[in-house]
Structure 1
Amino acid sequence: MIAMELQTVETHEWEIPAYKLDAFKAKIAQANKRLARAGLDARFDVAYEEFERQKNVTQADQAVVSNHAPVYVYEPWIRATLTGPLTLRHGHFTFVARLVPEEAGITVHSAPGQELGGYSPRGDNACDHCQVERSRSRLYLVRDDRDDTIIQLGHSCIELYTGVSPKGLWSLTFDEELEAFTRNDVEGGFGPRHYGASVDIVLAYAFAHSDKGRAYVPSGMYSETSTVSMVRTSLFFDINKLKDPDRSYYRDKAVEAAGHLADTDLIAAIKASVVETSEDSDYGRNLRILLAGESVTGKNVGILGSLVKVYARQQQIEAERKAHPVVAGYLGEVGERIKDIAATAKTVKYDEGNWGTTTFLVAIADDGHMLVWKAHRALDIESGQRFTIAAATVKAHETYRDVDQTVITRANKFEVVEAASASEMS
């Protein structure tokens, strides 16, 4: 029997229609049998919780709809919580990532809970064991836990290098197979790795399905249908087989996406927003590789589509800068006690913890300087309100996103003066 360890690293939740529960459980049971056949002791343990989801009844549902108020029905859903995905180990070797070839290079998909620790993938198909570079569909990064070095191995060379058969590697990405159960609009479905599409078309549909990136829903947030799920439906499914109102929705989004696709300046701007992501992260590296090609595999449609969220955030920051011009430089010297400060709150976050309320405040002083204050203290101030501070001490001079910020501490006597106008808050 192969001596391997599967260690849990995080918890995942999936919200599935109740009618798919039996199929979901069968999938989990099948996975556990595969683990057993591979000689592994670990199992996927899942907890199930029932809940209801509200749905608007339409004429297409052959229901009587009030002329004055919408009528709702409540559908039974199941929240499935499992421990995993799992980290696959054997002896002093840990499988940390799977590599997926794309048109312009290799994308990296790190296993949950794994970090590359500064290692930068080479972007080729070569195996460090056999030293052969050829087209490979299965390529992995493996860490030697004795010295934290990372090596790149082809599937056929894993056993030769580590002494372990590569059985069980599918468990690193088993969560991808469960995503299909969260869909309630397609019978039969399709697998994310079986299709490819134009880079520009994926971005156009993602932009349409996410309210121009402002309402992008990640795959892990299953209280709503994820944006990538809707994009895949638009790309790979015959929407004429859907029932209204879904069919009408997807037809409208097809028209909207066509308009975005025709706006070449918009598509170019979305692509250019990749500079807001780190080149040293899996996410940033993968996006740059995908954008360098003209098409993307179905496996990476979700990563590419998420760029519209980055673009929307970039546009929001730019709009805020124009609405609230910020001057360069700092308010006071470090260590100086400054008095009679008037400012407008831009961001106010209140976090409740074991030690009470922690407030994070970002504001623009009347003279245009950016102020930042954080303390274990509650304020009666909200975003958009103008307020005064009797006195505060300058703690530090910092720069964030090319904007100078004066970090203050020991601030006292906060007082709201007035709420900002609607135009100032937009």
Structure 2
Amino acid sequence: MRRGLIGMAALALAASAGPGFAQVSDDVVKIGVATDMASLYADINGPGAVVATQMAIDEFGGSILGKKIELVTGDIQNKADVAATLGGRWYDSEKVDMILGAGGSASSIALERVAGEKKKIFLAPDPASSDITGKLCNAYTVHWVYDTTALANGTGAAVVKSGGKTWFFLTADYAFGYALERDVSEVVKKAGGTVLGSVRAPINTSDFSSFLLQAQGSKAQIIGLANAGGDTINSIKQAAEFGIVKGGQKLAGLLVFISDVHSLGLERAQGLRLTEAFYWDLNDKTRDFSKRFAAKFNGKMPTMVQAGFYSATRRYLEAIKATGTDDADKVMANMKSGKWDDPVFGPSYIRPDGRNMHAMYLFEVKSPSESKGPWDYYKLLATIPGEEAFRPLDKGDCPLVAKN
């Protein structure tokens, strides 16, 4: 009788812990944020990414299935070798269950490879390269927020449609820049435009003068800035000093974040068209999240990447709760099992290639006279359904996608 009562009590405890028998490795769910904490992308992700991730953890009360959720952070310095080393140590020695990040495309691709080899989950809100869900895809990586294809189909297509037929690219000299130039060039040519040339600038350079002079000398109508963060800000500022826009050429910021606009100011940034997955003032849900984020982060509104850290963490924890385990294969299967209404990105689902699908938005930066107050920077021009924004599933050469 006593053995029977003990057995019944054990079954009751297992049932209360979650679906089936709850199984959490090492009695803790450990999440790692690996991102750029202090360099040129730190305003895009950085400390704000940590805040956003912690917000999602706090919404679960800091625990799940009766086990503590632990957050660890690391600075990958936008270096592929640093990201790979950190990822390997976290997954192996420190028993991190899921990593979010990891800065620029090159460092994220390095960590993606580690996740695939270790069969551990990697959710990537930071990077842009569409190769992450293309030829480099694996079963344990989800590209969460945006990619170079979506930027091309948004900003690139809109600029060509408005008359920008000849292009010259100022491109960041690493994986992200190459992918963005490639994807935008395809859209430009498909729309009947011409690419006159390109120049590659080192990441985090302080002097864009020689590169801008080459772009100016091309006489292209559009100078496409295939860079991001501090590089975008500096190239726009220095282009103004050279009188490039006053001379009749136009800049196309192919990856511009609200933090960039804030740094530039509306006087410099007004009229820029840009593609984002998120804007704080888009609807009631985005406003609610953003105001809570700002209260914890010095009054700053979140970038789409920081919103992605929050969204990805929530979805991951929801999958653990639903499956009753932190087993990577079971959690990933649940995450990919159907659609959900995301609090910041709206209706979403994850494709077999690891592309998180949701709407993208084409915005134009307001003029100073149009802005009604702090962070009131964008006006919405178009909503682009995910199926139109992102590359078709069968066009990316992802080995996980069956060929017809």
Q: Which TM-score band (shorter chain)?
A: under 0.3
TM-score, normalised via structure 1 length: 0.23
Pick the structure with greater CA Rg.
1
TM-score, normalised via structure 2 length: 0.24
Structure (1/2) with the larger strand percentage: 1
